[in-house]
């Protein structure tokens, strides 16, 4: 035994000794922000126009490239590269004016041609980015002059500035190679590292307010525990998307702070309206009434979030605020089931996966709650790799995901009759028409009223059980200030984050 101990000791020594000569590049505190973001190495990419699989990539692109617009406070749209959007009377042709002081890091000015090139490229990659710019007709769109372009939509579309939020990363016209970073015009430039572990330094030539931090390191880390540990142990300053348990634990630690971004995680239960038994609205209502929303919120998100009212986009400015909260009513649920002909019970299979933390727990708990209403549910966990292709938008009853995107986007991908993934088979021509009418309404308040009505209809008759939304939880060291707190894409814009010098 003794020799063994000595042996291990020697080996440890040898191990710690191997390579002591390399000096550590440790930039002075206050100077550098070390940001650990969600990201897998296999999807880390330099292409800002395809499907951006990693939050780490999105955050880096938001620092390196300029966008036309970004989400602002209270659901407003903040202009970045764009300075004005002027629609024609029919809301089908929009003149976009660009600021004239933006420059790429290679010195070239940012021109309308660069913007149109980038938008077209995003559109070409529709299959990878959920057809995000499908409302535009880029063949008809054109460059007017160096700082003006004309965007055309086949149908009237009042929300063009919002449609361009966040993803409209602009690269120089004619860029074809994206295996390396293309020049950008954003607040930072990439100076080292790689896609998974990038070093960014302040772009002193940026047109906007000077970012307080000289250098930002963005690292992709898959495991939420590892991200949290990085901040707790001082190896990083910010970790995005940590687990609720970590957040609760960190609440007791004065050196750490938790940033809550509302309504970022939503795991609705999805019912298909064109299949039995969900084709019966009474069954759908019974399922919605059987949910104990508070229990789900407390146990899945440890209470970090808001209970849901089956409204798909509660954070969207158009979401109706005057709808009474739906609460649990088991008697009414049983009654509805009996009326629907399921007096002797109902057997269902609920699919779920582990792609997002808590999805499987949510399904398990919901199955239990449905059991109390007389619905016998078997939960089936599918591998996360195939869930989104084999189960999502195909199964009758499963656990879905929405990450805080605006209502118009949700409607476009999931609710219109011709949506690519109309997962609930929500096919109502009059609803579609009302949606089109809303987008043809220039007055914002009126438009929001129509959209709110559509959401209310969906809440009452649609196939989504939105039991709650979980906060996005970012863990940061106490010295970090200025982290974005808005929903959705807002979290990617971290150029105004400040790290206090010790």
Partner 1 sequence: MLRTRVVIAGLIVVWALGGGLLAPYDPQESVGSPWQPPGGGFVLGTDVAGRDVLSRLLAGGRELTLVALAGAAIAGAVGVAGGLAAGWRDGRTSRWLTATADLLLAVPFLLLALLLAVALPAPAAVIAGTVCGGAPLGLRVARDLVRQVRHAGYVEAARCRGERPAVIMVREILPALAGFAFADLLLRFVLALQLGAAFGILGFGADPSAPDWGRMVRENLPGVALNRWALVAPALALTLLVLAALPVSARRSRPSRRTPVRWRPVGEQVPAGERRSALLQVKGLTVVDANGRGVVDGLGFDLAPGEVLALTGPSGCGKTSAVRGVLDVLEPGLRRVAGTVAWRGSEVRPGRAARRWRRTEVGLLDQDPAGTLNPLMSVGSLVLEGSGRTAGEARALLESLGLDAGRIWDLRPRPLSGGQAQRVALARALLEDPALLVLDEPTSGLDPQTLDLVVRVLKEPGRTALVITHDEDFASRVADRFLRFAEPPASVKRPAPESTPAGAPVLRVRELSLGHGDRPLIQDGELTLAQGEFVAVVGPSGSGKSTLLRALAGLRPPESGRADFQGRPLAWPPTERDAGTLRAIQFVGQDPSDALNPAHRIGTAIARPGRVFGMPVDVPELLERVGLDPALAGSRPGELSGGQRQRAALARALAARPAVLLADEITSALDTGTAAGLLDLLDGLRADGLALLLVTHDTAVAARADRVLRLSDHRLVRTENDVHAR
Partner 2 sequence: MIRSVPAAAGRALALLAATSLIVFWATELLPSDAAESKAAGRATGAQLAALRAELGLDRPAWERYLSWAGGLAHGDAGTSLVTGRPVGEMLAERLPATLTLAGCALAVAVPLALVLAWRVGAAPHGRIAALTAVAAAVPQPVFAAALVALFAGTLPWLPPVSLLAPDTPPLAQPELLVLPALALALPSAAFGAGMLGGAVADTLRRSYVRDAAARGLPPARVALRHVAPLLAAPALRILALLTGGLLASTAVIEVMFGYSGLGELLVSAIGTRDLPVVQAVAMLTAATVLSGLATADVLAARHREEPC
When CB distances are held under 5 to 8 angstroms depending on the partner's kind, the choice from partner 2, partner 1, none that residue 243 binds is: partner 1
Least gap, CB of 39 to partner 2 (angstroms): 9
Q: Is 252 in the site for partner 2 (CB under 8 A)?
A: no
- Could you say which of partner 2, partner 1, none residue 20 binds, taking C-beta under 5 to 8 angstroms by partner kind? partner 2
Q: Which of residues 197-226 bind partner 1 (CB under 8 A)?
A: 224-225
Our finding on whether 440 is near partner 1 (CB under 8 A) is no
Contact predicate 37/219, CB 8 Å: yes
Site for partner 1 in 235-294 (CB under 8 A): 243, 245-246, 248-249
CB 499 within 8 A of CB 321: no
| C-alpha to C-alpha distance for 193 and 198, rounded to whole angstroms | 4
Among positions 78, 137, 146, 295, the unique one binding partner 1 when judged by CB under 8 A: 295
In the range 13-72, which residues lie near partner 2 by CB under 8 A?
Answer: 14-25, 36, 40-47, 50-51, 53
Quickly list DSSP for 442-472.
--HHHHHHHHHHHHHHHHHHSSEE--EEEEE
The answer for residues whose C-beta is within 8 angstroms of residue 241's C-beta and 6 or more apart is 37, 38, 55, 224, 227, 472, 473, 474
Nearest to 492 by CA among 181, 218, 226, 209: 218
- In the list 298, 329, 335, 457, the residue contacting partner 1 (rule: CB under 8 A) is 298
Nearer to partner 2, 66 or 196 (CB): 196
Which 8-state DSSP code applies to residue 234?
A: T
The tokens describing 33, both together, are: 């922000």
The least CB distance from residue 300 to partner 1, in Å, is 8
Q: How far apart are CA 173 and CA 112, in angstroms?
A: 9
| Residue 84, contacted partner among partner 1, partner 2, none, CB below 5-8 A by kind | none
C-beta of 281 vs 357, nearer to partner 1: 357
> Is residue 376 at the binding interface for partner 1, with CB under 8 A as the rule?
no
Q: Is residue 389 a contact point for partner 2 (CB under 8 A)?
A: yes
- Residues 96-135, interacting with partner 2 (CB under 8 A): 126-128, 130-131
* Spatial separation of the C-alpha atoms in residues 492 and 229, rounded to whole Å: 21
Site for partner 1 (CB under 8 A): how many residues?
29
Among 99, 125, 260, 299, binds partner 1 (CB under 8 A): 299
What CA–CA distance (Å, rounded) separates 143 from 392? 40
CB of 228 to partner 2, least distance (A): 9
Of the listed pieces 195-203, 247-255, 328-336, 344-352, which binds partner 2 according to CB under 8 A? 195-203
Phi-psi label, residue 361: left if phi above 0, alpha if psi -120 to 50, beta otherwise:
alpha
What torsion, rounded to 10 degrees, do the Cα atoms 178, 69, 173, 413 define? 60
CA distance 103 to 186: 9
Grouping H, G, I as helix, E, B as strand and the rest as coil, residue 218 is: strand
Q: Which residues contact partner 1 by CB under 8 A?
A: 224-225, 243, 245-246, 248-249, 295, 298-299, 302, 352, 354, 357, 360-361, 363-365, 367-368, 378-381, 383-386
């Amino acid at each position: 035994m003794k020799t063994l101990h000595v042996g291990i000791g020697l080996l440890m020594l040898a191990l710690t000794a191997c390579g002591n000569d390399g000096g550590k590049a440790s930039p002075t505190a206050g100077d550098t922000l070390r940001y650990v973001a969600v990201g897998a190495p296999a999807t880390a990419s330099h292409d800002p126009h395809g499907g951006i699989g990693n939050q780490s990539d999105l955050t880096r692109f938001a620092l390196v490239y300029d966008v036309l617009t970004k989400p602002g406070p209270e659901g407003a749209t903040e202009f970045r590269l764009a300075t004005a959007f002027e629609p024609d009377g029919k809301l089908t042709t929009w003149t976009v004016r660009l600021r004239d002081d933006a420059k790429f890091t290679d010195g070239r000015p940012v021109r309308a041609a660069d913007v149109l090139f980038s938008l077209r490229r995003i559109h070409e990659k529709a299959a990878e980015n959920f057809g995000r710019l499908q409302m535009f007709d880029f063949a008809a769109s054109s460059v007017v002059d160096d700082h003006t372009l004309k965007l055309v939509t086949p149908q009237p579309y009042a929300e063009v500035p919002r449609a361009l939020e966040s993803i409209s990363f602009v690269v120089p016209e004619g860029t074809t190679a994206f295996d390396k970073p293309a020049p950008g015009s954003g607040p930072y430039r990439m100076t080292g590292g790689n896609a998974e572990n990038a070093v960014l330094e302040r772009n002193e030539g940026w047109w906007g307010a000077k970012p307080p931090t000289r250098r930002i390191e963005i690292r992709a880390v898959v495991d939420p525990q590892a991200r949290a540990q990085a901040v707790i142990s001082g190896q990083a300053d910010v970790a995005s998307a940590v687990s609720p348990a970590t957040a609760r634990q960190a609440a007791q630690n004065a050196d750490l702070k938790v940033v809550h971004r509302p309504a970022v995680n939503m795991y609705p239960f999805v019912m298909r309206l064109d299949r039995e038994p969900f084709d019966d609205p009474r069954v759908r209502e019974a399922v919605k009434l059987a949910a104990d929303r508070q229990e789900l919120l407390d146990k899945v998100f440890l209470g970090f979030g808001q209970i849901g009212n089956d409204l798909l986009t509660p954070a969207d400015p158009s979401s109706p605020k005057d709808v009474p909260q739906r609460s649990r009513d088991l008697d009414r649920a049983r009654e509805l089931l009996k009326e629907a002909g399921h007096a002797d019970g109902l057997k269902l299979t609920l699919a779920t996966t582990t792609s997002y933390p808590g999805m499987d727990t949510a399904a398990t708990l919901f199955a239990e709650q449905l059991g109390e209403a007389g619905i016998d549910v078997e939960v089936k966990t599918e591998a996360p790799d195939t869930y989104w292709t084999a189960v999502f938008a195909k199964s009758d009853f499963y656990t879905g995901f929405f990450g805080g995107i605006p209502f118009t986007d949700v409607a476009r991908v999931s609710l219109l009759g011709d949506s690519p993934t109309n997962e609930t088979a929500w096919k109502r021509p009059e609803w579609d028409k009302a949606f089109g009418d809303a987008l043809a309404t220039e007055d914002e308040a009126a438009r929001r009223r129509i959209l709110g009505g559509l959401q209310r209809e969906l809440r009452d008759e649609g196939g989504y059980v939105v039991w709650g939304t979980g906060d996005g939880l970012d863990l940061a060291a106490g010295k970090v200030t200025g982290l974005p707190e808005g929903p959705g894409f807002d979290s990617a814009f971290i150029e105004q984050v400040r790290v206090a010098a010790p």
